[in-house]
Each structure stands twice: as structure tokens, then as C-alpha cells.
Structure 1
Amino acid sequence: MADEPFLTRWSFQFGRKKEPEKHDAAESSGKPVSNGNSSNGTANGGGHVKNTSDLAIYEQYRTQERGSANGNGVLSDRYDEKPQKSLLPSFESADMRALGESLSRDIIRGSPDVKWDSIKGLENAKRLLKEAVVMPIKYPKYFTGLLSPWKGILLFGPPGTGKTMLAKAVATECKTTFFNISASSVVSKWRGDSEKLVKVLFELARHHAPSTIFLDEIDALISQRGEGRSEHEASRRLKTELLVQMDGLTKTDELVFVLAATNLPWELDAAMLRRLEKRILVPLPEPEARRAMFEELLPSVPGEEKLPYDLMVERTEGYSGSDIRLLCKEAAMQPLRRLMAHLEDKAEVVPEEELPKVGPIKHDDIETALKNTRPSAHLHVHRYDKFNTDYGSQILQ
């Protein structure tokens, strides 16, 4: 009895005591003692063993890509590698960890490849974004105390003017961890999970700082509270948690920016407007920006008829950037339609290598495109101007 080891939880196999003979045999053979689980298990540091199939998929991703990628999915040199940051922070419960894993799927891995120069016009919006996001990351020495960086930025304006492209440019140029969040990311059918998702989102953002949380169409998440007593309790709790978490960002030193975009800024709650400190108007493109778009989308071909850029700029007053792209697409379709009509008249099928080239765009094609494409966002321009006058951020020259 004196030689028999003291009973511990490792001495039991699914509630039954291990056989001493097997234990001694394992020791004499020099092999590690099994705890009763399958051999392909992996210890999780707490005395328990989990199968690889039971691991969270992002832990498997980290294990497989440890040699070639860091926690944000950016490739790194294996020989010049910094200590890696875990994908998830240490959450207080397994439920919070599961929610964190679901939100990790909204991290943009890799660059969206949108540069500042690829956005035509919007110089005021780009300058304000650089001042609010880029400069504090490049020169943190100057942004301390009263000059601490702004934590909340709102992009508002008509649809199709480039708000999402500006957010992609921030993700590309600033090299921050970019969370692309929509209503489906933080709204759950389970009671209480929506608030937890918002809390986990901001914990993840602080863990991966510097980071940017992009809330597209934020008016779907936090419209004005208490409208006509028709607001659901779960919706109100979600809005309150989002406001609390955004208020907490101002009390931390981590570089976490909330970048929101909306087409309906007048429907936002007043408390959210207070937390979105910079409110930047993204207006319809000016004549110079429209001309730059036309020259890039419909470049002139040497030896062919020169396109009437001045006429297009004059006739597209009130068009958004998206409308101009549709206009150029419609103009480019005209020569293709002529070619398709010619090919359809032939009875035999033309081999792919013998297909003729598409002809150039003519002046009449531009006229047809202008007649068939109408502006979609010009009716409420005065409302955006009034909101910008009341709440917008300006740069005074």
C-alpha cells in the first residue's frame, strides 16, 4: 500500500480507477501515460484534451499558418518574425469566446487595394480622414492630451458617392486591422447575445489595435430611440451597449477608430452623433471629378474619334459616382450591341479565335447613354447640405 500512488483525477478513466499493471507497464516502457482520450488530441493547457476537430476553426488556421502569417493574416518573414499576437483575447467565458470567433470572420484579411489616388475628387473628405486616422498612427507623439485622436468618424452623403471606397482606402493606407461590420454581424436571435457581440467586437478591436471598425449603413443599427413606443426592448439594449462601448473608447489609449457610413444621417440618435465627433459630408462629384472619372473609365483611343468630355461633364450635373460608372458602361455597350447584332445575323457559329474586335465608342453612343441613364441621388441634396451646415465638420482655409 505504501508504494501505491495517491489518487488524483489523473488516476481515473471516465470515472473508473486505472489498472495499476497498465500504469506500471507504461512507465517501464518509457511511453507517456494516456488519460483515456484519443491519441490525436491536443492539450489545451488546463489539464483537458480536445480533438483537433473540436478546435475552433480560427485556432486551426493559426496552427497551420503559424510559420507564414501573423494574427491579422498578413504574410511575414519566418526568419524575422515578431512574437505573434493571439487571434482572440482571453475572454471571461466560453460563450464570449464563441462570439469572438464568429466576429473574427469579419476581419478583412489582406488589403482591399484602394488607394487615395484612385478616388477622384472628395479632397475635403480625404483630408479630414487623413487628419483623423492616418496622422495619429504615423505621428503618435503629437496626438496626446487635449490633441488625442478622434475615435468616431461619420461619413454621410447621397448614395453612390464613395463612402465605402473611402473606408476601403483607410483600410489600405493605414494598415490597421479592419473590421467590416454590418447589422448581421452584431444582431442575434438569442436574447442577450446582441449586446455581448457588441462588447466582444470592441474587445477584439482593442486586442488588435490599431484597428478600425467600419459600420456600414449605421442608421439600421442605431436610429433614434423611443420613436412612437414602437421600439423593441432588444433593439434598445443593443443601441445602449453600442453607445456605452463607444464612450469607453475615449477613456483608453489604444488606437481604435469607429468609421460609420450612412445615407440617412438625420435618422441617427443624438447620443450617437455626439460620439461620432467628426461628421464628414461626401457630396456629389464636382465637374473636375466627373471629368477625371470619364477620362479614366472611357479613355480616348489614338486614331479614333475623340470623346466629348466637356459635353458629358455639362450633362451629368447631379450624377453620383455610381451613376457616372453606369453611364460609361452604357456607352461602352453600344458598339458591343452593334457587333452582337452582326454576329446573330450569321447562321453559323463563329469560332472564338475568329471573333472580330469591338468597335470604338462614337459620339452618338454617348448621346444614347445620356438619354438612357438618369441620376439617382440628386433629389435630397439640399437635406444633406442642411445637415452638413448644422452638424458637419469643415476645414477652414
Structure 2
Amino acid sequence: MNIRNLLIWGIVLLLLLALFNLLQGPQQGNAAREISYSSFINLVENDSINTATYHDDRIVGQNQSDGSEVYAILPPNDTRTQDILTANEVQIAARPRSGNSIWSILLGWFPMLLLIAVWIFFMRQMQGGGRGAMGFGKSKARLLTERHGRVTFDDVAGVDEAKEELQEIVEFLKDPSKFQRLGGKIPKGALLVGPPGTGKTLIARAVAGEANVPFFTISGSDFVEMFVGVGASRVRDMFEQAKKNAPCIIFIDEIDAVGRSRGAGLGGGNDEREQTLNQLLVEMDGFEANEGIILIAATNRPDVLDPALLRPGRFDRQVVVPNPDIIGREKILKVHMREVPIASDVDPKTIARGTPGFSGADLANLVNEAALLAARRNKRLVGMSEFEEAKDKVMMGPERRSMVMSEKEKELTAYHEAGHAIVSINVPEADPVHKATIIPRGRALGMVMRLPEADKLSENYTQMTSFLAIAMGGRVAEELKFGKERITSGASSDIQQASRVARAMITQWGFSDKLGTIDYSDGSGQNVFLGQEITRSKSISGTTARIIEEEVRRLIDQANDTARDILTKKKKDWETLAQGLLEYETLSGEEITELLKGNPPTRETDDSPPTSGKPASAVPTTDDDEADTKKPASRPKKGGAAPQGT
């Protein structure tokens, strides 16, 4: 890029020099004074001129009396001037004729040609280059027709319902007459809706691969430019190209960049984005189904799209692409494991069970992390231990074994995490404990990870109150073991999680007899009832706000009392688990169960799997005043139930 800028400045400099020479040339030529031919000959004969120079049709000499230059126009067919100059011993010089040479003509036109070339260059730069100086309105859609890298439905797993919805489009592109014989019309557009990373773009490419038709792809942000009308022109050009290649598919990724509801911006009806949307609406409703143009778009924000974009005749069909369930996750893992040498102990079903809430992109990242970890260990196959460690890294963050913790901090962390685990084991309808560790991960000094036995779409009141008790179990454990005056800030994240859940139970989910089933949340959103938009806004009186705070406090106090009762009754188990964490640092769910039965886990002396931890002596025991005491949740929920870590 620096060389390119230097070339540009070099061209500009040459242009300036050429213009300077062009302007200065005539001035230098007019410095000599014109006299008659007879006067010039008299000066020569009087020895006033000693040198003379021929310039095309004139002769120039210097007057010795005053030092000025004079010139005279030579007569036609002159033959005697040179003899006179020779007879008076005048030195004669000559300049070549340039008036009729091609070089002189080019030199004269050079500044203008250079100016035109620079203007064309900057015009191409302003509109992105590659399409000519007047190609602003050309579509930026890329046509993908190559056989290499073709994607089919076999490469898409975990979204069976979405594939069934789009299978009809594939059949239409293959055999349109099948539907036209019965008067059926294929949907003109399909909108793929789902969270990020669920494979919406991959599904669109699979539709084109299955139908074996041209596939135009463009992003919603590629339509809008700084010049008014460019977006609408590009929409028209895109559909013109599609008609020439029909049957085909047009895929617009992130359509919310151009398809937002009109009237919400500052530009009003003249806004460039709204003009582009208007043209897109006209083109979608203008072409006929028998032309074979299918428009597929993807977005993860369908709530902001313009209603006219979603009406029948445009995007007739909305296909939801959610996060996969356990069966879908297993299929996705098998697809990504095709390119990775897998050891015999790897079970995709077990990994799928331990990754609730993961999207397809998350699972691809999990397989890649496991492969990188195996490569660092110089292994030829990726084993289950690498997948377990990669899963822990993705869900809880990387281990910070280099972090220095004092013995007092390690003991406090062990009893804190043991409190979470013991409460989790003894409350009703809680997810099983998958792992407990006091090895710092991410910003947390320790973590107890719980995984559901199956995907959950909702939770009941008992499960919510159990979660509150588990969240408060760590702080209660610190109080029971070390005293109220030695409670640390390590439970800050637990308190935040418990407070959010308790407030949602009261204000959104109707779990309060005093407030009833009324939404008191402070969020805002839009809904439609009987064709009218209803805007929800916060309107809570002081009395209602006080009741909300009292109800939230009641739930938190009940959770504290439940955790305190469990840890008091199960003090022996709590102490045993805390000492086990101090010795082994990391315990799996099965190891915790056996440890509470009196069977301590057996560890190998050489490389142990990441889930088994290391002896406590492996961690430095010097003090560290900068230890991070925050303990956030291991992973936010995505759709279904996500793994919970406290």
C-alpha cells in the first residue's frame, strides 16, 4: 500500500512539472525582441551581432550594444542570410524543427492525457475498482458455480426440520413442471432464522448444491453505499443477472442490514437504505415463479425486519434453524470428525450429552481445539481426553496453572466449591454434578459444573429454587467454615446469578402470590394484537417496586436457609469433598460419588487426563495478592438448558 501511494504522488508531481513547463515555455520564447530582417542584417554588418541561432522560420541574435536578444523572421526561400553571416564571421547555431514531429505533438498533449488518466484512476478507487469508472450500480453478488467445494444436505446435520422445509425448493428447481401441472407455485423466498453459528449459510449452499444450479451470494451491507441510488441500482442489476442464469438461487446474508423497518431511521423516505429496501420489495414481488429464481435470506434478528418484507409473495416461508438437540449435536460432531483422525475411545454421543446449548459453530470449534491439543502433545490420534479438555476450555476457559495461590486461598476455594457440590447433590431436581475443580479457569478461582441428563426447554419452580440454593451454597460454606467476618468477595458472581433468577421469577414468570401473573419486567418490546402494535413499557408504582424487592429477598433468604441446612446436616460429606479437592484439585462426578462412599480416586503417576487433575503439590503455594475472586457462570444459556457452573 505504501508503494502504491508513492506511485500516486509521483504521478501528481510529474503532472505539476509538465504543467509548469507548459506555462513557462512561451514566456521564455517571447523574451527576444522582434526586429525587421533588414535591421537584423545591418546589426550583423556593423559587428553588433557575433552569434546567431536558427529557430525554425526565424533567426535569433544577441545585440552587443545593450545585451538584448533580437530576432527576425526569415524571408521565404532564404539563401543569402547564411552567406552574410559567414562573411561577417558570425558564429552560427541551429535548433531542430519540432513543429511537425510526432514527439512534439505527444509532448504537448502529455499534461492533458496525464490529467485524464489520474481522474479515471481516482474514480475507480472511489467505487472499489474492478468495474470501470461508471460501474457504481453494478451488483456485487458473487456467482458460485464451481464443482470444487460443493455442499449438499449430507454435509448439514442437526437441522432435519429445516432441511425438510427446503427440500421442496430443491425439487422445484430440479423439476418445475411437477408443481406447475397442479397449479402450485413455489415460495418465492425463504427466510432462515436462528441464532449465530447454527448453519444458515451452510444450508443455503446445500440447497444450491442439491439442485445443482447457480448460486448468487451477497451480504446485506453490500447494497448500501455513500452515493444515493446505488443500492437500488445494484438490486436491479442482481436480479437481471439472476434471470440470465435461471433457474438459480440468490442468497442474501444478514438481510437485516438493509431490511430494517422503514420509518425508524433519521433519513425518512429519502434514506438510501430505505430506497434499497423499496427496490428489493418491488423486485421480489415482480418476477414470476416460472423464471426459477429463489431468494433465500438469513438473519438472527427477524424482529427488526420490515413487515412488507415478510408478507406472502415475498418471503413466504420462515425456516427456523435452532441450536441442535443432543441427537443433532451427535450428528454434527460426526460430520466434523470426518477430517480428524479419531481414537477408538472417542464417543460422539458422550460429547454431545456434555455440550447442551452448543451451536454447530461451537461444535466445530470444539473438534478443532481437540485436534490442536493432540498436535501439541505429538499424538497421531485425537483421544477422548483431548475432547474432554477442549470441552472444558470452551465452556469454562483455559486453566491458569501458573497462577500463584496461597494455601489459605486454596483451602477457602475448596470449601466454597465443595459447598456448591454438596448442595447440588442434595436439592431436588438438580442437574448431576459433572466436575468440580479448584484450578483457576478464566476469571474463576474454582468451579462446579453441572450438566443436564437431557435437553431442557423449560424449568419448573422446584428446579429454580434448587438453583438458588446451589448458587448460595458457596457463600454459606465460607460462613460456616471460616466465620462471618472472613467471608470473601468470591461469591459475587453467585449473588448476581441468584438475584437475576429470583427477580425474573417474580417479575416475568409469575411465581409470586402477592403480585400475581403480571409482567413487571423493565424490558421493552413490541407485540401485535388484532393487527395493532402494542409497545410494552415500564410502569411500576413505588408500592409495587417495594413488594418486588421483598419477594426477591424472600426467595434469596429461603435459598440461604436451604443451603445452610444441607451443609449442616451433610457436614461430614462436605468436609470429605473439600479435602479431596485440596488433594486432587479436580474431581469428576463419578469420583465425587465414590469419594463420598469412602473410596478415594486412584491416580496414575504419569500423565493423567485433564479431568483427573494433579496432586496439590504441583501448584505453587506462594501468596498472590492479585488473585481474581470473580466466579462467573461457565456458559450462558443458548435456547435450551446450558451447563451451569458456580
TM interval, short-chain normalised:
0.5 to 0.7
* CA offset digits 1:74-94 (Å, max 9, x no partner): xxxxxxxxxxxxxxxxxxxx9
Corresponding residue number in structure 1 for 2:52? none
Distance 1:284 1:378 in 2: 13
Q: TM-score, normalised by structure 1?
A: 0.61
* CA offset digits 1:38-79 (Å, max 9, x no partner): xxxxxxxxxxxxxxxxxxxxxxxxxxxxxxxxxxxxxxxxxx
Distance verdict in 2 for CA 1:287–1:104, change over 3 Å: same
Contact persistence 1:323–1:374 (CA under 8 A): no
Deviation at 1:261, TM superposition (A): 0.6
Distance 1:177 1:99 in 2: 24
Distance verdict in 2 for CA 1:119–1:277, change over 3 Å: same
Deviation at 1:192, TM superposition (A): 1.6
**Structure 1 counterpart of 2:177, one-letter code:** K
Distance 1:244 1:321 in 2: 35
Say if 2:306 is the partner of 1:269. yes
Distance 1:256 1:244 in 2: 14
Say if 2:285 is the partner of 1:247. yes
**Structure 2 counterpart of 1:257, one-letter code:** I
Contact persistence 2:141–2:218 (CA under 8 A): no
Deviation at 1:301, TM superposition (A): 6.7
Identity within the alignment, %: 34
Distance verdict in 2 for CA 1:272–1:296, change over 3 Å: closer
Distance 1:180 1:276 in 2: 17
Structure 2: tracts of 5 or more residues without a match: 1-132, 397-633, 641-646
Corresponding residue number in structure 2 for 1:122? 159
SS across alignment from 2:382? coil
Corresponding residue number in structure 2 for 1:208? 245
SS across alignment from 2:178? coil
Distance 1:137 1:288 in 2: 30
Distance 2:291 2:636 in 1: 40
Deviation at 1:151, TM superposition (A): 0.6
Corresponding residue number in structure 2 for 1:191? 228
Contact persistence 1:182–1:217 (CA under 8 A): yes
Say if 2:188 is the partner of 1:151. yes
Worse-matched range after superposition: 223-232 or 200-209: 223-232
Q: 1:333 aligns with which of 367, 372, 377?
A: 372
Distance 1:238 1:271 in 2: 14
Contact persistence 1:335–1:359 (CA under 8 A): yes
* CA offset digits 1:224-270 (Å, max 9, x no partner): 11116465611111111111111112x46311111001111111111
Distance verdict in 2 for CA 1:142–1:106, change over 3 Å: same
**Structure 1 counterpart of 2:232, one-letter code:** E
Distance verdict in 2 for CA 1:301–1:236, change over 3 Å: closer
Corresponding residue number in structure 2 for 1:235? 273
Corresponding residue number in structure 2 for 1:137? 173
Distance verdict in 2 for CA 1:301–1:108, change over 3 Å: closer
Say if 2:334 is the partner of 1:313. no
Distance verdict in 2 for CA 1:282–1:377, change over 3 Å: farther
Say if 2:384 is the partner of 1:363. yes
Deviation at 1:108, TM superposition (A): 1.6
Q: For 1:70-85, what aligned pairs fall within 5 Å after superposition?
A: none
Contact persistence 2:140–2:222 (CA under 8 A): no
Corresponding residue number in structure 1 for 2:333? 294
Distance verdict in 2 for CA 1:183–1:104, change over 3 Å: closer
**Structure 2 counterpart of 1:149, one-letter code:** I
Q: 1:323 aligns with which of 362, 369, 386?
A: 362
Q: TM-score, normalised by structure 2?
A: 0.38
Corresponding residue number in structure 2 for 1:381? 639
Q: Which has the larger radius of gyration?
A: 2
Distance verdict in 2 for CA 1:128–1:364, change over 3 Å: same
Contact persistence 2:221–2:257 (CA under 8 A): no
Distance 2:258 2:244 in 1: 24
Distance 2:234 2:336 in 1: 41
Distance 1:321 1:141 in 2: 36
Contact persistence 2:256–2:304 (CA under 8 A): yes
SS across alignment from 1:161? coil
Distance verdict in 2 for CA 1:363–1:255, change over 3 Å: closer
Corresponding residue number in structure 2 for 1:103? 139
Structure 1: tracts of 5 or more residues without a match: 1-93, 340-357, 383-397
SS across alignment from 1:212? strand
Distance verdict in 2 for CA 1:241–1:124, change over 3 Å: same
Deviation at 1:178, TM superposition (A): 1.4
More relative contact order, 1 or 2 (CA 8 Å, 6+ apart): 1
Contact persistence 2:141–2:238 (CA under 8 A): no
Distance 1:380 1:335 in 2: 28
Deviation at 1:142, TM superposition (A): 3.1
* CA offset digits 1:277-329 (Å, max 9, x no partner): 01001111222222223334347979x55114332111111100110111111
Distance verdict in 2 for CA 1:373–1:171, change over 3 Å: same
Distance verdict in 2 for CA 1:126–1:136, change over 3 Å: same
Corresponding residue number in structure 1 for 2:3? none
Say if 2:207 is the partner of 1:170. yes
